[in-house]
């Protein structure tokens, strides 16, 4: 029996794959658990149409993410923090701090999208990667200065 997978099934395929399975496996396991649906002609046509629509949306979202990444790449964020005599911070600069500054600058960035390679505990300049979308990243400069 041919079925269209509605969810990822280990060792069988990913969502949207058209696979051939044993009749009993489809009837007794896949269909009742809503992991797959029988591949009738109408469903196959409908699913192909939905796939093309989803691909178009992904391309559009990717293009807009690339534009945002271009704008964000040139940004410099300046953070002020208290530091000791040897330029060590009393605490650290977190991804949340950087996200707050980017939000103030007009970019919609969440803290989990910021990838810190190292913990920022010393005054100086750092380069930080910001994930805009899957496969689209921007690099932001972060200046950490002494608070007066």
pLDDT tens-digit readout, 62-84: 888 899 889 888 889 999 999 99
CA-to-CA distance for 101 and 79, rounded, in angstroms? 8
CA-to-CA distance for 26 and 122, rounded, in angstroms? 59
Same domain for 45 and 28: yes
| Domain tally, the chain | 2
What is the pLDDT, as a whole number, of residue 98?
93
What is the pLDDT, as a whole number, of residue 65?
86
Mean per-residue pLDDT over the chain, rounded: 90
Same domain for 128 and 62: no
Q: Give the pLDDT band (50/70/90) at residue 17.
A: confident
pTM, two decimal places: 0.65
Same domain for 126 and 59: no
Q: Read off the DSSP letter of residue 83.
A: B
CA-to-CA distance for 71 and 89, rounded, in angstroms? 30
């Amino acid at each position: 029996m041919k079925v269209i997978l509605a969810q990822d099934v280990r060792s069988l395929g990913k969502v949207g794959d058209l696979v051939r399975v044993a009749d009993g496996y489809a009837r007794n396991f896949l269909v009742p658990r809503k992991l797959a649906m029988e591949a009738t002609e109408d469903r196959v046509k409908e699913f192909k149409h939905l796939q093309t629509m989803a691909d178009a949306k992904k391309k559009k979202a990717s293009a807009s993410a690339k534009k945002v990444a271009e704008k964000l790449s040139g940004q410099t964020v300046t953070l002020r923090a208290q530091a000791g005599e040897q330029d060590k911070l009393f605490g650290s600069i977190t991804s949340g701090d950087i996200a707050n500054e980017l939000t103030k600058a007009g970019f919609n960035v969440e803290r989990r999208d910021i990838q810190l390679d190292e913990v920022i505990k010393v005054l100086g300049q750092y380069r930080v990667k910001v994930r805009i979308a899957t496969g689209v990243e921007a690099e932001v400069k972060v200046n950490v200065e002494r608070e007066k």
